[in-house]
Structure 1
Amino acid sequence: MSRRASVALALLTAVLTLVSCSTVPTDSATVLITQAPAGVPEAVGIEPVAPVPGASAEEIVRQFIDAAASTVRRHPVARQYLAPGPAENWQDDSGISVIGTDYAVVTTDEGAVTVTANLLGTVDPRGVFTVAERGVFTRDFTLEQVDGEWRITNPPDGLIMLEPDFRRLYDPVDAYFLDPTLSRVVPDPRYLIRGESQPTAVVERLITGPSAALAAGVLNPLSGVELSSTVTVEGQTATVELSGLPAEPAPLLAEICAQLVWSLQQLVRPRIVNVVVLLDGEPITPDGVPRQQTIEDWASFDPDAVPVDGVGHYIDSGAVETVPQGDPVPGPAGEGRYGLDSAAVAAAGGQLSFLTGVRTDEAGATLLAGPYGGELAPVLSGASISAPTVAATRTEAWVVRDGTELVRVPAGGPPQPVAAPTLPGLGRAEVLQLSPDGVRAAVVIDGAQGRRVHVGTVVRSADDGAVVLRDLRDVAPTLAGVIDVGWRDSGSLMVLAGDAGEDRIVPYTVGVDGWGLAPVSTSGLPSQPTALAVAPSRQALVSAGATIWQLAGGRWVTLVRGAEPLPGTAPFYPS
């Protein structure tokens, strides 16, 4: 199972609890999904029952919703709850809306039933999940008597499916595309029905291309390629047969193989370890890789690779120090010469190379930058400057100046503006964090509905070098009072936010698309957390009570077990 799949499936059970006190938009339409439930193992399906004679109109509607969880093609049992004409014309494969289990079915008139529910989200034709905004989801059903039994006359096209059924039938799977530097694969979350059709479905999603929100920020070397036949799996080896690869421009064969291997190896039903890629019947083996390719052959494209010496850093009395012993970083920044409030470190060639930090005093805020271990120089000033953030694919730092201006500072270069066309309508940006691959950015925005976390896509122009952060989307609409956010990996976040039930700050985890929101324990913390640091394959860090703590075994502990907590604030990981 993929990294994101295992996290999402483990955490999704907490979603209903978190959204039960909120609402979603009125008359939200069901959305399309094309993946038909063919080839689903019998163990996955729990087939619904046919209508019971004498059932009330409300019971018919409830059982029709239950019947959406059928694994049989065209949902024949669900059609038995419909009047003859609608049963023939109902398009069961054109949409899914995922709702919570605590929904209401109420008779409003003779032969009229209204369903009211919490809508968790919808899935589009290519398996892209969109988290629901706050509001009330309603659907009005009309029924008529057919041979003395109530039957539905206006079923909405697509399926209305309960969250546990959706979670049981559909797997979260990442379709991987390429970042603009062609150095990392970038996850694009999809939700696919379980079963033997998954490998073919994954490759089809790759060929079709990235989701609308991500498309402008990534490259797709498989664009225009055709899948000659269904993907075959023998043992733990999948064979992908392609055709139609254009000769010009020169095909990116290594990148195509990396896409396919990274996307297919995460599947567990069936389990795929090796991938054979054929082009017009001949195996593709770029860069001398073997015919049967594995994830190790394309490890350089790892979306979550981190610097070997990328240990946690934090600020103590203006100095930059490191986990776990509190050793200062080399140079004047480690001596506290600059009086920094926050900092970030970027790596080049696997080595820590570029340090930026923010100093705040009576005159305002100043961003300083320079080599890791060397002298820092002022590069930007403002009334306020957010904590800097870096990504692994470019040696540059990003900040927000005065809550409204996004600025990036390349190593050794002058500050450059980053356009964010959707930001002005949302509010003031307080926190900015780039994803490890540099393709997305998470932003905490203080707006009309409080401090919420949004995710946008970084789009870079090849013509003039302009950079834009586009399509900021609220990925956790049930959370307010967000104070910090970080990237656990390239496909998921950790968020510090206010607990709706109590007056406290709680860590949460959530997928980049809003799936799988769940709280994280605060056990062991001396007080409420004020800032966090997360990174792939690294233990989460928080500052609490002006000391630094790490998450280990579901409990927050001191950096050195059994020792006193080390003083510090503003933790961060290099990237």
Structure 2
Amino acid sequence: MRARAAAALLALGVLAGCGTVPDSSAPVQITQVAEPPGDIGIEALPPVAGASPEEVVRGFVDAMASTTRNHPVARQYLTREAAGEWDDTDGVTVISADYAPVASADGSVTLTAGLVGKVDTQGSFTVGAGQAFAFTFALTEEDGEWRIANPTDGLVQLEPDFARTYDQVNAFFLDPTGTRVVPDPRFLVSGESQPTALVDRLLVGPSTAVAAGVVNPAAGVELRSNVAVDQQVATVDLTGLPTGGADALNVLCAQLVWSLDQLDDVRAVRVTVDGEPVDLPGVPDVQTVDDWASFDPDAVPAASVGHYVADGALRTVTAGEVVPGAAGTGQLGLVSAAVTADARTNELGTTVAVAVVGGSTTLLAGPYGGDLTAVLTAGSFTVPTVSATREEVWTVRDGTEVIRVPATGSPQTVSATTLPGLGPARVFRLSPDGVRAAVVVDGPDGGQLLVGTVVRDDDQVAVRDLRAVAPDLSQVVDVAWRTASSLVVLAGARDEDGTGPYTVGVDGWGLDALSSAGLPAQPTAVAAAPSRPVLVVAGGTLWQLAAGTWSTLVRGQGPVAGGSPFYPL
């Protein structure tokens, strides 16, 4: 029912110094902050004479996929009163393409479809939990034609239309240590207003899901005018900077540059305050991510090579070498481990391992290459996990008690009040920035994947807002962080047999299957890290993903026996 125009494809230590900025000036009103241009996406067609109620509803859904401001064609499917009252800016409901409108004798039409998810007014996506979407449109005759009298506020879009029209990009905030930016995925309409919309989202603040776990140096800052892009340089003119001196301005610039760098038309950023360029020692007038490389959300130390456990000993994927110290002897009966890494010194730090000897399970800790001493005992511990921002290791004891082990000091219980009610936790993985945690809990349909936010308040640490991000996957076996905003999951798809590898965004968008070709059996454990090959255990041997193909650790050589792979961070 519509002609389609060209559409964009869906894109799958604070620095020291002093800043010189003018005092203040009045902000200028920003126009078209989040409005899409009229020439991107889908051209809608108006209703035809004599259209049935079902055809009117179909036409309305089609017309909502247009990106023309205010959706004038979609309003033609509404009564005059409804057309004047309909709010098309109240988020987007994304439904499956195989929707069904069914008319009733009274002229109403009930639309049913699978609920893919919802996007709020700030562009944050929440995945559907497998439930159906249903809405009954009341139609009435107006001037001899059927028209909708009760449109739902916001847009309802089919998944393919949504994917063609919107880009997923990250608004970057700051982790509590102030050392790296944290991705907060947002969906924005493609087009020339996207840079302004993205900066606007940044200034408004983080999404509800991650707000309690991040810091926003941009809070209270305003844009004086729309972001202008000229020859791939975006100029961002700000006002109302908070107090905090050069350090605050440094991290604000890092936020802006890392966020805008994702856009196709932006390669550098010029930041001005009240119309005057910022003056940051060591930072050029036109900034790139290279100037803020220390804030890289996916930075991994060179020392972060793959490790695994074999015959009770900790080894590296480099020719199966055993690690130095007690962990490499095999005498401790190790079954899993994690190691911290220092990006500044490129050295490995603390080792925490789980040992099982004679039916007793013990958590051991010590310096990498040194002696390991008993820290805790339990019936079980999950595979230990680390982040790149703090020298500490986390695990879950007996499926319910989340524990963090600092490099210095005693183990501490982390508040996770909702976790016991969700089921025993058998996998717990911190994100590289330490702001999120991916958890696999046992449920009625097997393992379920949840993602929560790590919240730090003075000396109190908690894991909150645990939410399902891959409801279409069942029997989840393991999970690892491929980047700060994406996961690798070992699971079975709904209504399918067997376990395979998948990738999915931290918000649940973009669930894709990875190839299993070359694996000798179903994978049972996975390890990943930014810029590192994915590792899995299949048939009791280790395999790595390179160029979309699974291969042995050393090409041309046989598979290496082992389990519980991981990368130090």
TM-score by length of 2: 0.92
Decide which of 308, 312, 318 is 2:306's aligned counterpart. 312
Pairing of 1:314-393 with structure 2 (within 5 A): 314-348=308-342, 349=344, 350-393=346-389
Q: Which moved more, 1:59-68 or 1:84-93?
A: 84-93
2:396 corresponds to: 400
Q: Per-residue CA shift, 1:139-163, capped at 9, x if unaligned?
A: 0011112222211111111111111
The 3-state SS of whatever aligns with 2:122 is coil
Q: Shift in Å at residue 251 of structure 1?
A: 5.6
Q: Shift in Å at residue 281 of structure 1?
A: 2.6
Alpha-carbon distance in 2 for matches of 1:120, 1:176: 25
Query: Which runs of 5 or more residues in structure 2 are unaligned?
Result: 1-7, 13-31
Matched, 1:110 2:106: yes
Alpha-carbon distance in 1 for matches of 2:33, 2:230: 23
Q: Per-residue CA shift, 1:323-379, capped at 9, x if unaligned?
A: 141111122212213111001111123311111110123443111111111111111
2:283 corresponds to: 289
The 3-state SS of whatever aligns with 1:200 is helix
Alpha-carbon distance in 2 for matches of 1:310, 1:249: 35
Pairing of 1:11-160 with structure 2 (within 5 A): 36-40=34-38, 42=39, 44-160=40-156
Q: Shift in Å at residue 172 of structure 1?
A: 0.3
Q: Per-residue CA shift, 1:35-65, capped at 9, x if unaligned?
A: 754325x3x3321111111211111101100
2:211 corresponds to: 215
Alpha-carbon distance in 1 for matches of 2:364, 2:10: 38
Matched, 1:568 2:557: no
Alignment coverage as a number of residue pairs: 541
Query: Which runs of 5 or more residues in structure 1 are unaligned?
Result: 1-5, 11-33
CA contact (8 A) 2:9 2:164 kept: no
CA contact (8 A) 2:382 2:426 kept: yes
2:539 corresponds to: 545
Pairing of 1:411-450 with structure 2 (within 5 A): 411-450=407-446
1:170 corresponds to: 166
Alpha-carbon distance in 2 for matches of 1:132, 1:35: 28
CA contact (8 A) 1:8 1:515 kept: no
The 3-state SS of whatever aligns with 1:134 is coil
1:272 corresponds to: 266
Query: CA separation of 1:318/1:285 partners in 2, compared to 1, >3 Å: closer, same or farther?
Result: farther
The 3-state SS of whatever aligns with 2:560 is coil
Q: Shift in Å at residue 225 of structure 1?
A: 1.0
Alpha-carbon distance in 1 for matches of 2:547, 2:258: 28
The 3-state SS of whatever aligns with 1:65 is helix
Q: Shift in Å at residue 120 of structure 1?
A: 0.5
CA contact (8 A) 1:370 1:412 kept: no
CA contact (8 A) 1:343 1:357 kept: yes
The 3-state SS of whatever aligns with 1:258 is helix
% same residue:
58
Q: Which moved more, 1:324-333 or 1:98-107?
A: 324-333
Alpha-carbon distance in 2 for matches of 1:502, 1:130: 24
Alpha-carbon distance in 1 for matches of 2:242, 2:48: 57
2:242 corresponds to: 246
Query: CA separation of 1:223/1:37 partners in 2, compared to 1, >3 Å: closer, same or farther?
Result: closer
1:255 corresponds to: 251
The 3-state SS of whatever aligns with 2:298 is coil
2:191 corresponds to: 195
Alpha-carbon distance in 2 for matches of 1:363, 1:7: 54
AA in 2 matched with 1:46: I
Q: Shift in Å at residue 283 of structure 1?
A: 1.8
CA contact (8 A) 2:246 2:280 kept: no
Alpha-carbon distance in 2 for matches of 1:337, 1:261: 50
Q: Shift in Å at residue 413 of structure 1?
A: 2.0
2:507 corresponds to: 513
2:477 corresponds to: 483
Q: CA RMSD in A?
A: 1.6
Matched, 1:182 2:166: no
CA contact (8 A) 2:402 2:414 kept: yes
Alpha-carbon distance in 2 for matches of 1:305, 1:227: 30
Matched, 1:473 2:501: no
Query: CA separation of 1:35/1:111 partners in 2, compared to 1, >3 Å: closer, same or farther?
Result: farther
Query: CA separation of 1:150/1:35 partners in 2, compared to 1, >3 Å: closer, same or farther?
Result: farther
Alpha-carbon distance in 2 for matches of 1:291, 1:446: 53
Alpha-carbon distance in 2 for matches of 1:49, 1:513: 33
The 3-state SS of whatever aligns with 1:469 is strand
The 3-state SS of whatever aligns with 1:424 is helix
Query: CA separation of 1:35/1:143 partners in 2, compared to 1, >3 Å: closer, same or farther?
Result: farther
Alpha-carbon distance in 1 for matches of 2:133, 2:539: 42
Q: Shift in Å at residue 426 of structure 1?
A: 1.1
Alpha-carbon distance in 1 for matches of 2:173, 2:208: 13
CA contact (8 A) 2:332 2:357 kept: no
Alpha-carbon distance in 1 for matches of 2:426, 2:10: 27
The 3-state SS of whatever aligns with 2:340 is strand
CA contact (8 A) 2:478 2:489 kept: yes
Alpha-carbon distance in 2 for matches of 1:68, 1:443: 37
Alpha-carbon distance in 1 for matches of 2:56, 2:34: 24
The 3-state SS of whatever aligns with 1:109 is coil
Q: Shift in Å at residue 288 of structure 1?
A: 1.7
The 3-state SS of whatever aligns with 1:471 is strand
The 3-state SS of whatever aligns with 2:138 is strand
AA in 2 matched with 1:479: L
Alpha-carbon distance in 2 for matches of 1:7, 1:152: 31
2:26 corresponds to: none
Q: Per-residue CA shift, 1:393-440, capped at 9, x if unaligned?
A: 011100000000000001132101100022122111110000000010
2:457 corresponds to: 461
Q: Shift in Å at residue 249 of structure 1?
A: 7.4
Q: Which moved more, 1:180-189 or 1:474-483?
A: 474-483
